[in-house]
Structure 1
């Protein structure tokens, strides 16, 4: 087993049986098994990503930069419309400010877990809106070019 460098993530689709039941929700690869399997932290230890219900693919993320500040979510929301017709709206819990200047929303998934929101990196997302309910013109939308 080889420790992962924190730049690979396993992505999952929706499944009612999945412990990761948020469409496209990424989970960090913790280590690589000797046979090359991506290992994730499960309820009882490390588990191969491909054995989990709803597994779709592994993708390398951009190199992480250090978080230098966290700001409150301030009532912002993220609404994602997926290619299967599902729509999810989650509140932004906080904004993480990275040393390279990136600001990343942290959302709360329907199962109550918090993590970096997936905005443009999710292949199952057809349209994403980041907005403040009091100011709908702040919405930023990205449409899937294949749609």
Structure 2
């Protein structure tokens, strides 16, 4: 057995009877916890308390990479985000944290006056991230 170090999910199609007499379907996911020595995805069989091949269920549709999730947050002391104003000048606001994802990616985070967080790299007026040494030199 090989531990699943990169997040994957096994996908399963569920069918439901709708009120109009037709059938609908939706997909559910189970996390892949490990891989068998022969390369099969293994999931927890809740009713049996053991790992089983993901494809042992008749409604199995496949395996896909899972969305990364946050595993840690680190303070971004001294880091800043430089933006361009409408008149072309730039200004810098503090970066508050670095979010570490299960994929290994490290994302910068800002907080607005309403307490909402965002990755500043997606802002239309984002210019760049500034390092602590740049903040110290400007002071």
> Shorter-normalised TM-score: what interval?
0.3 to 0.5
- Asked which structure has the greater CA Rg, the reply is 2
Q: TM-score, normalised by structure 1?
A: 0.39
